[in-house]
């Protein structure tokens, strides 16, 4: 078996090593069942314990009260782009969206396909989505305000969430969920594809407040209604059992090994601080996000030439540092340092960046 490398992939992304080891240890015989987790019935006591524990850990980590429902759906965040307006934006009303990059743009487009009324209350497109807008004037009559909490491609993140004046806030948190504590009370709905910070691709965490369910129209297809999954505990049909099981183990790791979200945030800030300091103190690397809007999850930067960037990515891999190529739409380099990426990985990358700069000045 080859030695594991440091994984900076943007998604699917790194998993905590203890989680992978636990999966390996019980993969062929899950909890004494004589079956793999991929074989047990989703109606069995074994899987009941998995999904109930995963839900309970989400509640504890985010301090959710009983007004919130925890759901495990399929289709990724991309399906939520259409489910949110389909379920929660009534006819005759409009919703405010803040456009901070590619995923927000897609969410806006999906609402438009349904001919829903969308108001782009603010956008950072004027500067290539390199910052998070401030001092936004929201429509007080909006059905909801939609934001993308962290923007993986451009490396920006909401340091604090906007004041919507009581209008329900909805957020795509696919790439920074469980990376820091925050007040959930303003949110009507939160959704997050698992493959960046929670587990493997194939399951999407949805947290929805009870009052939002009152908006769900009766005429929607069964599988596209939030109420369907609330009523059936996410098991109207066969859920992605293995993905939910892995999410449960990742949540257990955050809660029991790391010690909760405050400690998780401290680690994430240390990792990001190391990389941003290396960029800022260098004349060789240039950060692409404005400093006040920098992401703690995705550090984006450029080198003096595209040829050097290609060499950087190639040589980094040779040094056991994987996934540093920027998104194909923008180029450059990107280090995704989600929860499971250890501090040692950030240190190794900083060392490599320094050596590569010295050799290529």
Q: Report d(CA 110, CA 82) in Å as an integer.
A: 5
Is residue 136 within 8 Å of 165, Cβ to Cβ?
A: no
> What are the C-alpha distances in Å from 261 to residues 4, 243, 257, 276?
26, 21, 11, 22
Measured at the alpha carbon of residue 17, what is the angle toward residues 16 and 18, in degrees to the nearest 5? Answer: 95
Contact between 239 and 42 under an 8 Å Cβ cutoff? The reply is: yes
Query: Positive or negative, the Cα torsion across 207, 19, 346, 308?
Result: negative
Is 158 noted as a catalytic residue in this protein?
no
Is 45 one of the annotated active-site residues of the chain? no
Q: Which of 196, 225, 271, 325 is catalytic?
A: 196
Among 158, 172, 271, 325, the active-site one is 172
Catalytic option among 103, 116, 176, 271: 103
Three-state DSSP state, 80: helix
For residue 42, give the nearest of 203, 250, 174 by alpha carbon.
Answer: 203
Residue 261 near residue 178 (C-beta atoms within 8 A): yes
Whether residue 116 lies in the annotated active site: no
Which residues participate in catalysis according to the annotation? 103, 172, 196
């Amino acid at each position: 078996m080859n030695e594991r490398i440091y994984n900076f992939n943007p998604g699917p992304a790194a998993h905590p090593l203890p989680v992978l080891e636990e999966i390996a240890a019980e993969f062929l015989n899950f909890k004494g069942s004589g079956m793999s987790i991929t074989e047990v019935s989703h109606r069995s006591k074994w899987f009941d314990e998995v999904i109930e524990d995963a839900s309970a850990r989400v509640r504890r980590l985010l301090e959710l009260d009983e007004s919130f429902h925890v759901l495990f759906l399929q289709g990724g965040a991309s399906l939520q782009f259409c489910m949110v307006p389909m379920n929660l934006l009534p006819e005759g009303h409009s919703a405010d969206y803040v456009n901070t990059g590619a995923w927000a743009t897609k969410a806006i487009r999906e609402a438009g396909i349904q001919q829903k009324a969308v108001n782009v209350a603010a956008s950072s497109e004027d500067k290539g989505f390199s910052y998070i807008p401030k001092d936004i004037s929201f429509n007080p009559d909006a059905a909801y305000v939609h934001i993308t909490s962290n923007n993986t491609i451009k490396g920006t993140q909401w340091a604090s969430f906007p004041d919507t004046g009581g209008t329900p806030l909805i957020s795509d948190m696919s790439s920074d969920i469980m990376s820091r504590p925050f007040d959930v009370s303003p949110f009507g709905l939160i959704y997050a594809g698992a493959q960046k910070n929670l587990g493997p691709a194939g399951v999407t965490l949805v947290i929805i407040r009870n009052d939002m369910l009152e908006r769900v129209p009766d005429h929607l297809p069964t599988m596209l209604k939030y109420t369907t999954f609330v009523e059936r505990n996410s098991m109207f049909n066969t859920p992605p059992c293995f993905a939910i099981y892995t999410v449960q183990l990742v949540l257990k790791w955050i809660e029991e090994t790391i010690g909760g979200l405050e400690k998780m945030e401290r680690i994430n800030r240390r990792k990001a601080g190391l990389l941003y300091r290396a960029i800022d103190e260098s004349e060789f690397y240039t950060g692409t996000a404005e400093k006040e809007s920098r992401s703690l999850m995705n550090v984006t930067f450029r080198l003096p030439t595209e040829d050097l960037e290609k060499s950087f990515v190639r040589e980094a891999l040779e040094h056991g540092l994987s996934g540093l190529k920027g998104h194909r739409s923008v180029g450059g380099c990107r280090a995704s340092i989600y929860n499971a990426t250890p501090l040692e990985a950030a240190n190794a990358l900083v060392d490599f960046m320094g050596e590569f700069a010295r050799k290529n000045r």
